[in-house]
Structure 1
Amino acid sequence: MCGRYASSRQPDELAEEFEIDELRLQEPLTESYNVAPTDEVYAVLERPPHSSPRGPLRQDEENASTERQLRAVRWGLVPSWAKDVKIGNRMINARMETVSEKPAYRRAFAKRRCLLPADGYFEWYATDAKDAKGKPRKQPYFITPKDGGVLAMAGLYELWPDPAKDEDDPTRWLWSCTVITTEAEDSLGRIHDRMPLMVERARWDQWLDPTRPGDVALLTPAAPGQLEAYPVSTLVSNVRNNGRELIEPLPLEEAWG
């Protein structure tokens, strides 16, 4: 599972890293060290350059040449057929094992794939220590590339028409996304049994190309040794807390004390 992550890069940094052709942003997102479900996040995706800026592609645009765009989308995928936007609250992750089959994801997997840039993500480990209620105390860990680079998490995006808004309302279409997850590699599996899937740089073009069918073979867990995990403050457990201190390493004696 991936339920929180950090995203502090600015649009110009991401534009250079992901070779963005067009910034489709009304304004930059505020850097966040505690990105939570329903927050707006950056997504890298490809669409025809002259397509509707807000709605789905027309039939004549389906096979048109594309440009790479950076957009802000809501974390928590809302399928186009959903009756209520709240469905997205429980669709923040899509399992790789079933992403091409489940009705909520298979159309997006076929044509609406994206990359979700992150500094790293958080997972919680149940320790032997007990809290005041006698339950295992959970220690948060931050998992990030050892080289300080950007994580390119595999994602899907969707467009949902709000039935309460007029067809010509520019805010009618909600853009949303989900993170694709897989079984965690051994060194991280001790913390949590799931982890976000990464897309290697050499496969970005194939993954993002909406004219190519989705292929799970393009998705790979991060190679062992590329990521590091270290304990951080329990302040991250509260979504109201935000700041760089949330990703600062915590001395082990404090983490386990």
Structure 2
Amino acid sequence: MCGRYFVATERDDAEIKKIIEEVNDRFKNTPELSKMKTGEIYPTNIVPIITPESPALMKWGFTRFDGKGQVINARLETAAEKPMFREAFAEHRCLIPASHYFEWETIGRKKQKYAISLPSTLYMAGIYRFEKDMPIPLFVILTRPAAPVISFIHERMPVIMPKELSGVWLSGEMESHDVMHHSVEDVSYAGVDVTPALF
């Protein structure tokens, strides 16, 4: 799964800076822009997202059918068929830019936090939808089985698209099996801290 990621603005990351500049211009003087988050990103935060048209602001998490809480991830293997995700998968694809994402390995009664990254900005595949009374769309991050190098941390990972195929993904032309085949696996990881597990 993917339940936390990081958007660095203090380092020289030209791609993320450009995305944020475009979002600032597009949403200038709006309440949504004042709520935009960078740094460590949590579910329900409002963040910069890439759509086929232009960078946008979206909120992380679809509202559950019963209205209680959010769904933040969708399995790539079943997103095209599940009622909650299939329309978004077919019609509303996006990319979530990040400096890295976080995952936790359970070690006894503790959890080891890892930052998982690429040498450059990573782009996680997502889908989004519009919900009643929401001023901006909501998105979820697609996940897949973890790459062998990080499978000891967690059995799932976000679908990370190569930059050169981002346009093909956004266009809706890639089927699930093609996305799986082309998604990035060559990631690196580094331990961040150790915190008590929640039981």
Q: Give yes or no for TM over 0.5.
A: yes
Q: Give CA-to-partner distance per residue, 1:103-130, whole Å, 9 cap, x none.
A: 00000000100000011111111114xx
Q: Give CA-to-partner distance per residue, 1:199-253, whole Å, 9 cap, x none.
A: 11221112112xx4552213444233xx211111247x9xxxxxxxxxxxxxxxx
Q: Provide the C-alpha distance between the structure 1 equivalents of 2:173 and 2:7, rounded to a whole number of angstroms.
A: 29
| 1:36 equivalenced with 2:14 (yes/no) | no
Q: In 2 relative to 1, CA 3–221 (structure 1 residues): closer, same or farther, beyond 3 Å?
A: same
What SS does the corresponding residue of 1:181 show, helix, strand or coil? strand
Return 5+ residue gaps in structure 2 as ranges.
Answer: none
**Which protein shows a greater Rg?**
1
Question: Contact 1:22–1:70 at 8 Å: present in 2 too?
Answer: no
Q: Which residue of 2 aligns with 1:144?
A: 117
Q: Tell me the matched-pair count.
A: 188
Q: In 2 relative to 1, CA 222–214 (structure 1 residues): closer, same or farther, beyond 3 Å?
A: closer
Q: Which residue of 1 aligns with 2:101?
A: 121
Q: Which residue of 2 aligns with 1:218?
A: 179
Q: Provide the C-alpha distance between the structure 2 equivalents of 1:161 and 1:83, rounded to a whole number of angstroms.
A: 14
Displacement of 1:13 after TM fit? 3.9
Displacement of 1:16 after TM fit? 4.2
What SS does the corresponding residue of 1:102 show, helix, strand or coil? coil
Tell me the TM-score normalized by structure 1: 0.64
Q: Provide the C-alpha distance between the structure 2 equivalents of 1:76 and 1:21, rounded to a whole number of angstroms.
A: 20
Tell me the TM-score normalized by structure 2: 0.81
What SS does the corresponding residue of 2:51 show, helix, strand or coil? strand
Q: In 2 relative to 1, CA 22–207 (structure 1 residues): closer, same or farther, beyond 3 Å?
A: farther
Q: In 2 relative to 1, CA 78–229 (structure 1 residues): closer, same or farther, beyond 3 Å?
A: same
Q: Provide the C-alpha distance between the structure 2 equivalents of 1:83 and 1:123, rounded to a whole number of angstroms.
A: 28
Displacement of 1:7 after TM fit? 1.1
Question: Which of 51, 75, 88 pairs up with 2:60?
Answer: 75
Q: Which residue of 1 aligns with 2:140?
A: 178
Q: What one-letter code is carried by the residue in structure 2 that aligns with 1:2?
A: C
% identity of equivalent residues? 30
